[in-house]
Chain A
């Protein structure tokens, strides 16, 4: 469990130390990409906890969602419609749902553990 968290820290460190920054006009894309990545990540965690985790679905979902979000934002910019808001909304809602599910599962697990200890 601690290896992915370590990877996250390594990634953050890598990002900070490479001193890479995106031009302002592309900040929108990056934000939506980050959101898509987070959504997929939490979806993966939830699926794992629910025991329906599939490696291929996870990896493909990660990249596909990112690409879709970015292209939607791109289309939105060229159509003059803020389509990236739709992506943010969808990802945001799913993020909250996923986190809620994760929380419940963890709560159930925790209470079960407590019960078993008590008994």
Chain B
């Protein structure tokens, strides 16, 4: 055997030996001899059983928590529904409200009273104009002479009497409560009303329109009748068509 061959063999042998050792180790590694006797194993088993029971208790506890959460969730969805209902009722005008706003008083012009001219009524046109103007100036809820205005409210003349929601207005003076979103809006509304031409329009009809300073606690009553919904239908859940 010449030197070159010997060297090659040596090299290859080294590599093969290394590979075999690594392979041997990889195969052997997971196996470790079990030297425990029966009592040791029993002890181990006992320990494991204890652990299992602990884990089972834990699982039970967590499951209970989950159940609790589910119940809470159901309850809270109910709560959410209630909240929604409340806010909807509030928006529809079915609840009395106390919030920042202004009060407008319509009263007959004193000079006319002195002259003996009978006090007229507020015409529906004028009232509508006032209401529209108020809404335009960011009024949220309005009640005229304790009659809450809602989406379907009508102001009209029935047999020569001005009515709101079908109920006649009392004689002058008439109070109009207006509620706004917050105090700032109330201030703004007050300023706009002060500058509005509505005052002159009312004056032509011998009515003086006075706007009170914005107050924090303006109360307006709830709408008293039931709201009849005639032309609306609930949307079906499937939403077919």
A residues in contact with B5, CB < 8 Å: 48, 53, 55, 58
Query: CB distance B1 to A34 under 8 Å?
Result: no
How many pairs, one residue from A and one from B, have CB atoms within 8 Å of each other in the complex?
103
List 26 A-B pairs, Cβ < 8 Å. A3-B6, A3-B9, A4-B6, A7-B9, A7-B13, A8-B13, A8-B16, A11-B14, A11-B21, A12-B21, A14-B17, A15-B18, A15-B20, A15-B25, A22-B26, A24-B26, A30-B22, A34-B16, A37-B15, A38-B16, A44-B12, A55-B4, A55-B8, A58-B8, A59-B8, A59-B12
A residues in contact with B25, CB < 8 Å: 15-16, 19-21
B residues in contact with A5, CB < 8 Å: 13
Write the chain B residue with the least CB distance to A30: B23
A residues in contact with B20, CB < 8 Å: 11-12, 15, 34
Which residue in B15, B27, B29 is a CB contact (below 8 Å) of A11? B15
Q: Is A79 an interface residue (CB 8 A)?
A: no
Q: Is A31 an interface residue (CB 8 A)?
A: yes
Query: CB distance A7 to B14 under 8 Å?
Result: yes
B residues in contact with A48, CB < 8 Å: 1, 5
Query: CB distance B26 to A11 under 8 Å?
Result: no
- Chain A 45-71 interface 0/1 with B at a Cβ cutoff of 8 Å (1 = within): 000100001010011001000000000
Q: Is A117 an interface residue (CB 8 A)?
A: no
A residues in contact with B24, CB < 8 Å: 15-16
Complex Cα distance A52/B162, Å? 127
Which residue in A12, A27, A30, A58 is a CB contact (below 8 Å) of B17? A12
Complex Cα distance A69/B175, Å? 101
Complex Cα distance A24/B29, Å? 10
A residues in contact with B21, CB < 8 Å: 11-16
Known interface pairs A15-B25, A22-B22, A24-B26; 10 further A-B residue pairs with C-beta atoms within 8 A, sorted by A's residue number: A7-B10, A7-B14, A8-B16, A11-B18, A14-B17, A15-B18, A15-B19, A20-B25, A34-B20, A41-B13
